[in-house]
Amino acid sequence: MRIDLQIGGYRIRLDEPENHPQLAWPLRPFDSFLAQPGLQPDMAVTVTVASHLPALSRGPLRFDAAHGLWKLFESDAGLVIESLSPHTHQPRACALVSEDYRTVRAWILPELQMGQVGWCPMHLFNPLVEVCLLSRMAREGTLLLHAAGLSSHEQGYLFTGASGAGKSTIADFFAERGALILSDERIIIRKIAGRFMIHGTPWVGSGNYATNDRSLLTHLYCISHGTGRHTMSAMSPRAVVQELLRQSFLPLWDREGLDTTMGLMSDLIQHVDCRALAPLKSPDIVDYILAQRQLHPVGSP
């Protein structure tokens, strides 16, 4: 069985040749990111459903995620990723990954769900495929940001901030005005032909927005809760980078990817209007943002 996905312009293929039953798949909203088969994938994952995970040769530990839920090791054959079930903390999957993250050979244990034995693609996607995709994107100057992204009146807006800052709420208010919401949780930022583009992803926030589309990025807002009234203010480049670093999904295990990410952030703040926004939880935030856009056109201080 083959699964083809396209996320942020990256084509991902999972190929499980024995055709074991797939459990809880396709899972919304990943079904909206299914791609036509036949195109050359950017990342090829060969899946083996095994009763026992292989004992892969491991070298030095490169990264240990929180509570050891997944670990990345170096090895003579490439990189080794091991992941545990977050419920049982027992091994669930492992993979041998090429140094460029293009080729993955993965093994996953079968599961029993609703009386059926099979394998769950989401348990392979999280974290193994996500780790590889994030690493690959970072090396190519692509950023995965904790943000809500949308397109309205031919402008692309990005709202980034900590959980609970109001990203999904702002997305809701814009959606009520007919805006295209790409995501209210994670947005992919790529520079294509000299322009920064934002792409929707299948990872959703409380608003459950996930659109397989993209938009030109024209405005970036670092948001926090407002008091009394909506406010917007200029930010120094240093402050913008600090906030982007806090809200980015960074490949801390990959130095090359981190260096390229820092270069992307530096480039982005020079070409995209970046401001601090402290909104109230009120629908007129849309009018406020549109009015401020007229007062501060792209490129103005």
Q: Which CATH number does the domain housing residue 158 bear?
A: 3.90.228.20
Task: Say if 255 falls within a structural domain.
Answer: yes
Task: Say if 174 falls within a structural domain.
Answer: yes
Task: Say if 29 falls within a structural domain.
Answer: yes
Confidence of residue 38 (pLDDT cuts 50, 70, 90): confident
149 and 284 inside one domain: yes
Confidence of residue 299 (pLDDT cuts 50, 70, 90): low
51 and 123 inside one domain: yes
Confidence of residue 193 (pLDDT cuts 50, 70, 90): very high
24 and 151 inside one domain: no
Angle at the Cα of 28 from the Cα atoms of 210 and 135, rounded to 5 degrees: 65
Domain boundary among 111, 139, 167: 139
pLDDT reported for residue 39: 84
Confidence of residue 29 (pLDDT cuts 50, 70, 90): very high
Confidence of residue 60 (pLDDT cuts 50, 70, 90): very high
147 and 135 inside one domain: no
132 and 24 inside one domain: yes
The answer, yes or no, to whether residue 209 has pLDDT greater than 70, is yes
Task: Say if 301 falls within a structural domain.
Answer: no
Confidence of residue 301 (pLDDT cuts 50, 70, 90): low
Task: Say if 127 falls within a structural domain.
Answer: yes
pTM as predicted: 0.95
pLDDT reported for residue 246: 97
194 and 56 inside one domain: no
Task: Say if 19 falls within a structural domain.
Answer: yes
118 and 159 inside one domain: no
The crossing angle, in degrees rounded to 10, of helices 255-271 and 237-247 is 130
170 and 48 inside one domain: no
Confidence of residue 217 (pLDDT cuts 50, 70, 90): very high
151 and 255 inside one domain: yes
Q: What is the mean pLDDT of the chain?
A: 95
12 and 32 inside one domain: yes
The answer, yes or no, to whether residue 18 has pLDDT greater than 90, is yes
160 and 123 inside one domain: no
For the residues 149-162, what does the mean pLDDT come to? 95
The structural domain count of the chain equals: 2
24 and 129 inside one domain: yes
Domain boundary among 109, 139, 169: 139
Domain boundary among 139, 155, 174: 139
For the residues 49-55, what does the mean pLDDT come to? 97
Task: Say if 90 falls within a structural domain.
Answer: yes
Chain segment 106-132, per-residue pLDDT in tens: 999 999 988 899 999 999 999 999 999
Task: Report residue 105 CA to chain centroid gap.
Answer: 22
Chain segment 256-291, per-residue pLDDT in tens: 999 999 999 999 999 999 999 999 999 999 999 999
Task: Say if 300 falls within a structural domain.
Answer: no
Confidence of residue 297 (pLDDT cuts 50, 70, 90): low
- Taking the C-alpha atoms of residue 148 and residue 174, their distance in angstroms, rounded to an integer, is 11
pLDDT reported for residue 248: 97
Chain segment 62-98, per-residue pLDDT in tens: 999 978 899 999 999 999 999 999 999 999 999 999 9
pLDDT reported for residue 153: 86
The answer, yes or no, to whether residue 296 has pLDDT greater than 80, is no
Range of the domain at 260: 143-295
